[in-house]
Amino acid sequence: MRTAQQILADSAVIAVVGASRDPFKAAHGVPLQMQQYGWRIIPVNPTVDELFGERAYKTLADIPHPVDLVDVFRPAADAVQVVRDAAAIGAPAVWLQLGIVSAEARRIAEEAGMDYVEDRCLIVERAAAGLTRLG
């Protein structure tokens, strides 16, 4: 299994389940900052059409191209289904944001052969490793 920083280094396209239009929420600020450092962010939110200048999708299954990482901004109880959905689309890795922990989600990810991170923040890990996808 790759480390959190290896997953970020290897990923170019991140689907963000629970991405928010509210600029005061981490589910908005974190993906926006990742986008500003060069990652392509694909918002997954059934209540919006566009976020971060990208088309938003209702579900992971609606995304018409591969994603490298599924980032989860949903409660732990929802994470189990999100990980199942991520496995169904062939995502190689799943990341549960800070404060989100699920033994069942971890088990599903491991059984599907996916890399799995929980209770960690993308921007903290990006900054700690000094990662960027900008030219």
What's this model's pTM, rounded to 2 decimal places?
A: 0.97
**Which DSSP symbol is given to 57?**
B
- Burial (CB < 10 A; 0-12, 13-18, 19+), residue 31, is buried
Rounded-to-integer distance, Cα 17 and Cα 71, Å: 6
Average pLDDT taken over every residue of the chain? 97
Rounded-to-integer distance, Cα 11 and Cα 13, Å: 6
The identity of residue 55, as a single letter, is R
pLDDT band at 80 (very low <50, low <70, confident <90, very high): very high
pLDDT at 135: 77
How do the domains of the chain map onto residue ranges?
A: 4-10+18-129
The answer to whether residue 74 scores a pLDDT higher than 80 is yes
- Give the architecture-level CATH label for domain 4-10+18-129: 3-Layer(aba) Sandwich (3.40)
What is the dihedral angle through the alpha carbons of 7, 12, 18, 19, rounded to the nearest 10 degrees? 130
Rounded-to-integer distance, Cα 113 and Cα 77, Å: 21
Q: Residue 53's Cα: distance from chain center in Å? A: 17
